[in-house]
Structure formats: structure tokens, C-alpha cells
Amino acid sequence: MDPTIMTIVAAMGVGVVAVLLLVVKSLIVICLPNEMVIITGRRRITKDGREVGYRVLHGGRTLRIPIIERVSRLDLTTIPIEVAIKNAYSKGGIPLLVQGIANVKVSARDPIADNAVERLLDKPFAEVMQIAKDTLEGNLRGVLATMTPEEVNEDRLKFAQQLIEEADEDLKKLGLELDTLKIQNVTDEVNYLDSIGREKTAHILKVARAAEAQRSSEAEQIEAAARQAAQVAGLQADLKIAEESNRLRVRRAELEALALAREAEAKVAGEKARVVAEQSLQQERIGLEQRRLEADVLLPANADREAAEQRAKGSAAKISEDGRARLFVLEETIKLYKGAGTEAERIFILNMLPDIIKEITGAVDGMKIDKVTVIDSGGGRGVANAAGQLPTAIIQLTEQIEAATGINILSRLGRGGGEAAAPAS
């Protein structure tokens, strides 16, 4: 195929596609969220039964018939409007100057949207703002006529609310919707509000000074009451401290008494335990002492006793034998004495004489005479006198023997064996 023809065909294809795109674009209508699309050219029945020659689209998309239907758009963006009126007479005939700000937009809600289509379609933005402003200012004058300057100035929220209620119906008829309305400033040219303000200020200052004086008095009273309460509280605190101190001392005394009692009980218990222990120890000591005594005394004593018994038995046996022997000797002596006749008494005295003399001299047995000194006081006869005293001493000794036994030894010895012994006088 000829390249020229191919180029022509391609260009025609591109043109057809472009035409199709333009046709499709002209057929599709897209509505943004902040706008309202009005499609006119065909008649339709509204929801309330009215017959109109348009349809409204708020957001989304739709198709239109080229040539027959035409598309128009209404901006739904909020319109800020400054509202300011002068010489607006309030209730009571006081002219006021009011300044405020309102936010108005075209309403897309049914049936207000139909009013907007009918009254504001294809109008310039500035003209729409002027319509809204004039409507609000008229409503503002109407609301001011029903309120006093004091109410307008003091309760601006209430004033704005009444203005919204008043203007909302008129704006809806125009297809508009009031979002917000704020009163910024309220003044007057005759200084009415200023006078009211000074009066109220003076009154407030008066009330403030009175209140200040009253508060000062109350503060002084409260301060005095507080000082009194503080003093009372201090006294009560001191009393409480004293009471607690007394309780503490009592409790401390109780604890000390309890501690002393416990200590005494412990001492008594310790002493008791010590006594018991000592008693037990003493019992052990007694037992040990008993065993020691048994070992050291009783056993030796028993042994000594047994030995003594044995010795006594032996001694008794010896004494018995000695007694028997002496008895035998005595019996034989008696037999001899009987056989001797008259010489028996003499023999007996001679046998007994050494024992008798020994007993008599036993009184001076412990005396030891180293020497005898004779002092002559009679003319040289002292020695003779001392020698002459010997017979006298012998005679006195025989007399003592006779006094002790009743036998005169000298007379018995001088008589001979054939004489009978005379009885002692």
C-alpha cells in the first residue's frame, strides 16, 4: 500500500477517535462537590408535582443530550459578607451602629435549590453577594427595632440568634442558606451605650468598693475568727499534747511496772531454777558424799568394826583364857594357902606388898627430885633431923597401908608364922 494512503488513513483514525472523545465529553456531565449543575432543555416533574424545564445534579455525573440540553453551574462555596448598618433605631428610639460578619452560600437542598435555580442562575458572584447583604441588613434593622441597646450590647448571642431566625426565611426564598452570623461591634453616635457603661461602671465601682469594704470587714472578722480558732486550736492542741503526754507517762509507768514485774518474775523463776538446780546439785553432792562416806568412812568403819569385833573376840577369848588361867592359879593358890595353914596370910601379904607400895607411891610417881637441901636452923642438927625422919616416914607408910587394907604389916611381919593375925583397930 502507498505510504501516503497509510498516513491519511491513520490521520483519519486519529481524527475519528478525537471526535469520539469530544462527543463523549460533551455527553457526560460531571458535578463537583462544591457546585450544583443545572441541565435545562427538557421538561420534567419535580417531587412536589411541579412541572419544570430543568433538572438539578449535586455531585456525581450524568449524560446530556447535545444541542437539546444545556448545562449551567452554581457555585456552592461559602460567601463571607460584611454587614454594617448606621442609624438603625433600636427599641426606645436610640440609633445604633452595628457591624457583623455572615457566611452565606447557595443552598443545594430541596426545595431551596429550586429557588436558587430560578433566582440566581447565571447571576454574577458579586450580584449574589449584594442580594444577600441587602437582605441581611434589612433583617438586622428589623431585629434591632425589637431590642433595647442594652440587650443588643449585653446579649449579642441572643441578638445574633434572633437575626438568624429572622433572615433565614428570606434567604431560603432567594435560594440561599445562612451558615453563621456573628455581631462584631455595637456602638451609637449619641454615646448612649458609653453613658450606660459609665453608669454601670460607677455602679460596679460603688458595688465593688462596698463589696471590698464588706469583704475587708469579713476578712478581718474571718481573720479574727481564724486567730481565735487558732488560739483555741493551739490550746486544744496543748491540751491534747498534755493528755497524750499523761497517757504516755501512764503507759510508760505501766510498761515499766510490767517490765519490773516480768523482771521480778524472771528473777524469781531464775532463783527458783537456781535453787532447784542447787537442790539437784546438792542431792547429787549428797549422793556423792554418801558414796564417798561409804567409801571413805563406812566401809573402813565396817572393816574396822569387823576387825575390832574379831579383835574383841580374840581379846575376849584371851581374857577368858587368862581368867580361866588366873582362876586356875587362884584356885591352886587357895589350895596352897589352905595347905600352908597359919603361914598362908603372911605369904599373901608378902605377895601383895609390892603392888600396895606401888599404888601408894603412885601419887608421887610424876615428881622428880634432883637434890635435897637441908637448912639447919637448930644448931647443926638439920642432917640428923632429916635422917631421923626416915623411920617416921616408914611408920606413916605402914599406917597408910593399914588404913587402906586394915592390916598392920609391921605387926604381921614381927610376929612369926605361928601367930594369928590380930584384927586391925
Of the chain, the end-to-end C-alpha distance in Å amounts to: 225
Residue 174 to residues 49, 71, 123, 142, 331, Cα–Cα distance (Å): 21, 21, 12, 18, 195
335-356 residue pLDDT tens: 776 776 666 666 666 666 666 6
34-55 residue pLDDT tens: 888 888 888 877 776 777 778 8
Task: Please report the pLDDT score of residue 412 as a whole number.
Answer: 60
CA distance 114 to 221: 73
| pLDDT for 300 beyond 80 | no
| pLDDT for 422 beyond 50 | no
Residues 6+ apart with CB under 8 A from 53: 40, 41, 42, 43, 44
Q: Which CATH number fits domain 77-190: 3.40.50.2300, 3.40.50.300, 3.30.479.30, 3.55.10.10?
A: 3.30.479.30
Rounded to an integer, the average pLDDT of 250-264 is: 85
CA 155 to chain centre: 61
Residue 145's pLDDT band (cuts 50, 70, 90): confident
| pTM, two decimal places | 0.42
Task: Please report the pLDDT score of residue 423 as a whole number.
Answer: 40
C-alpha grid cell, residue 221:
472578722
Task: Please report the pLDDT score of residue 234 as a whole number.
Answer: 83
Residue 83, SS3 per DSSP: strand
E runs forming strands in 135-221: 176-187
CA distance 208 to 217: 14
CA distance 119 to 341: 214
* Identity at 293, one-letter amino acid code: L
Rounded to an integer, the average pLDDT of 86-98 is: 81
Task: Please report the pLDDT score of residue 367 as a whole number.
Answer: 53
Task: Please report the pLDDT score of residue 213 as a whole number.
Answer: 83
The percent of residues in the chain predicted with pLDDT above 90, rounded, is: 1
Residue given cell 607408910 in the structure block:
397
The Cβ of residue 104 has, within 10 Å, a number of other Cβ atoms equal to 25
Secondary element (H or E) of residue 316:
helix 299-340
Pairing between β-strand 95-106 and β-strand 176-187 as defined by DSSP bridges: antiparallel
Residue 84's pLDDT band (cuts 50, 70, 90): confident
Residue 333's pLDDT band (cuts 50, 70, 90): confident
Domain boundaries along the sequence of the chain: 3-72, 77-190, 341-363+387-425
User: Mean pLDDT score of the chain, rounded to an integer?
Assistant: 77
C-alpha grid cell, residue 304:
574396822
Of 81-85, 194-198, 204-208, 384-388, minimum mean pLDDT range: 384-388
Residue 9's pLDDT band (cuts 50, 70, 90): confident
DSSP code of residue 422: P
Name the region of 150 (left: φ>0; alpha: ψ -120 to 50; beta: rest). Answer: alpha
Are 24 and 66 contacting, i.e. CB atoms less than 8 angstroms apart?
no
| pLDDT for 122 beyond 70 | yes
Are 56 and 36 contacting, i.e. CB atoms less than 8 angstroms apart?
yes
Task: Please report the pLDDT score of residue 425 as a whole number.
Answer: 35
C-alpha grid cell, residue 407:
592390916
More confidently predicted of 259 and 425: 259
CA distance 187 to 201: 17
CA 133 to chain centre: 78
Residue 419's pLDDT band (cuts 50, 70, 90): very low
The 3-class SS string of 207-251 reads HHHHHHHHHHHHHHHHHHHHHHHHHHHHHHHHHHHHHHHHHHHHH
More confidently predicted of 212 and 355: 212
- Written as one string, the DSSP assignment of 325-356 is HHHHHHHHHHHHHHHHTTHHHHHHHHHHHHHH
DSSP code of residue 67: T
Residue 274's pLDDT band (cuts 50, 70, 90): confident
Partners of 102 in the β-ladder = 81, 181
